[in-house]
Each structure stands twice: as C-alpha cells, then as structure tokens.
Structure 1
Amino acid sequence: MTTGRAAQARRAADALRQRIVAGEFANGRLPDEQALGRSLDTSRNVVREALNLLRDENLVTRRRGIGTLVTAHTYRHGLDRLAGLAEELTPYGTVSNEVREARVVPHAPPAITRRLDIPERSEAVYIERLRWLDGGPLSLDSTWLAPDIGHPLLHRDLAGRDLFALIEEVTGAALGSAEVTVHAVTAEPDTARVLDVAYGAALFAIDRLTRLPDGRPVDVESLRVRADRFALRAVLPRS
C-alpha cells in the first residue's frame, strides 16, 4: 500500500523531533532540506512539510536565506528517579522561582485532604511558583503540603530552593517515593499568559504525590510545563 505524503511528513517530523530533543543540533541550525532528505531517505517536499509541522509545534523557525533554526533548547527531565524539577534542570542553566502564592488554606479542598490523608476540612499549605530557566518561563507549579510540613516551609527560601530539599530538611529524612502521572493539556488563557505561550498551546501536565519513607503522603503537586521547552526521558529495564 502506498503511504501518503502527509503520513511520510509525520514520520519525518517524529524522527527530526527526536534528534532535536536529543541535542543533536548543538549549534541550533538544522542541515538544509536536501541533506535532511538524504538522512531521512525521503524527498525534499516531505522534509519541507515535516519542518512545517515542527514549526507549528514551535520547535523550529524557518528564515529565508538562513535556514531552519531550533527555536529554543528542549530540557530533559528523567522519570527513572525521584528528583525535583530544579534539581534536574540546574545543569542546563540558571533556575529561579517566582513565588506567586504561599499561604495557609484553612479548609483545603476534599480532593486534597484525601490525597494527603489528613482529616476532611483541615488546613493545608498552598504554594504556587512560576519556574524560570535562563530568563524564560518554563513551568507553573502548584503544591499542597500537609500542615506540619508546610508551615515551616513558609519561612524558608521558596524562591531559591527546591521544595524536595526543603521538605527533607524539615522532616530530617530523605523522601521515599512518588506516584507520577503525565498527560497532555492545552493552555487556557491564564496559564498561557503566565507561561508566555499561545492560548491552546500544548503543555505537559505532571501530577505527583510524594511520600515519606514510611509511606505517608506529604506533597501533592500539579505542574504545567511548556511542551516546546521540555521533554521527559527514562531508561527502563525489561524485567
């Protein structure tokens, strides 16, 4: 069966996206269409359509007389160990946090109290931070903490420190484990404005419940991360 050009372009875009995310084009510029066609074993027309798909994803920009440029670095976050986003991103550049909210909520939502395994209508601490990497917004992080963990954090350096490290200082023990769910969402108007993306742009939604070594839940997080600047990676053994 003959494969249509649209399907060929999609497959070529997938291959190029993997190479971009892997950092293969370190100088920020892709080879010309003819060279890309040879490397992908496809025609220049298919390559052109593939590059247009990547441009629509905001991964590349195409400039007459210059060529195709990677729009921004894509930063990788591992899923094979428990680490805060800032811990993983520090090697890539300067990480900073804008603290948008940090407060005690007298009656936390029932969905939060259930996940934190605290009494219904009890208080919890809410922290919302906008994370910046090398001067550009990367993620909007919403965090709910059990009150005995969260209260001391309100007096710590929330703008300059990773929450996981602060939680471990407060509890005096390393965190135990986390349950992580990743799915795709589109940016609604407020999040789009905060993250400086177009309304409806693709985002990673990362929901995480973190536990102490004894299994007690202490931290419920919801992260909205720009998909054009971020990739998830893992090395998974087959058991």
Structure 2
Amino acid sequence: MDFNKILSKSTKKPQSILKIVLSLSAAVLVIWLFLVSRMELNSTSQTQDPEITQRTEGLRNSLLKRDAEKNAEKMPRIHPKEDNTVVEQSSQKGNEIALAQTENEPENERAQEPPQKAETKSEESDVFGNAVTTFFVMLTLLGGIWIWAKRKEKAPHTKGGLRELGGHVLGQGAQLKFVEINNEVWVLSITSDSVNLLQQIPRDEWTETQAIQQVDGEASDTSDFKSLYKFFKN
C-alpha cells in the first residue's frame, strides 16, 4: 500500500487527515486497555483454581512427611548396653521433636501463604494501574494534538504566509491547487509523481470566482479529457 499515492489523490486537508489518525489512535488505545484487563482477569482465575491448590497442598504434605522421616533417622542412636530409661527418654524426645516440627511447619507455611497471595494481587494491580496511567497519558497527548490542530485550522491568515485558496480535481490522481504565497497566487498541477507551477498571479488581480469559471470553461470546451490532463501534466 503506497500512502504517497493515496494522499496525493486525496482532496482532504492535512488537518482532517490528522483527525482521522488521532481517532484511530484513540480506538487502538481503548482496545489495548481492554486486552490488558482481560489478561489480568484470566491470570486471577487461573491462580484461584481449586485443583491447583489441592495439588500444591498434597505436594507440600508429602515433602513435610519426608523431611520428618529424615529428621527421625538422623537422631543419635544409643548403645544397647546403656540404661533402658535413657533409651526411652531419648526416643520420646525424638518423637516429640519430630511431631513438633511436623505440626509447626504447616502452620508456618500457612502463615506465609497470605502474604504471597497479597504480593501476587499487588503485582497484578500494579500492572493494571500502570496500564491505566499510560492510557490516560497517551489520551491527553492525543487530545492536545487534536486541540492544536483545531486552533491551527481556525488561526487567522498572516501576511506573507501560505494559504490554500481552493482546488479542482481532474481525475486519476491529478488536481489543480490554488495557493497564496507572499501576496501571489500560484496555480499548481499536482499528480502522484510531480508538482508543477503553471502560473503566478498577483494577489490584487486574483478573483476566485473568475478563476473557477475559467477552469470550468476550459474543461467544458475541451472535448477530449486526456488532452486536458496532458496539458496540465506537461
């Protein structure tokens, strides 16, 4: 897609094209914010799946049991010749320590679970908050450009500047433009490949109605449109 040809064939003003681009940009921003919100909802639904929580709890319990068995095996063994009371006391102490570890570890992990969930929720809210702030910043920038374009369009004409007086479409990407530059009116022939200056007229001698009637008369008197197109092109 060649945008140069499309813009050269278009008869719209640059301000109107800029407005179209700004409206498309705002629509893309709204779609982007909607997609970010949908992604966050999908991530929260996946984290709150009960099957996943059951699997994680089963794995945690199996790991805790294995650690308790390893700790029980690592307890110091007493020689059989020693007193039976010492053996019983040491075994009781070992069992009490293992039970205390198995009881305390799930409680500690359960106590640690809510902060982790809170951290994940805070991260998700931070992502959405950053997306919202970015959306509003970009929207304000687009609004500022829109207001600037409106003011530029309504700005009064300054002496010695450039102002487009009008135009006439010939067809197939060819058109005439009447532009006021430095108190002169330039008649330009614009095609997709070139821009040619046809005539320079002083501003005092220029009347828009006569110029339009002259162009219309030439177009009506000429029977062959291709000859008129070649005349302006050359």
Q: Which has the higher helix share?
A: 2
> In terms of Rg, which structure is larger?
2
Q: TM-score, normalised by structure 1?
A: 0.20
Q: Which has the higher strand share?
A: 1
Q: TM-score, normalised by structure 2?
A: 0.20
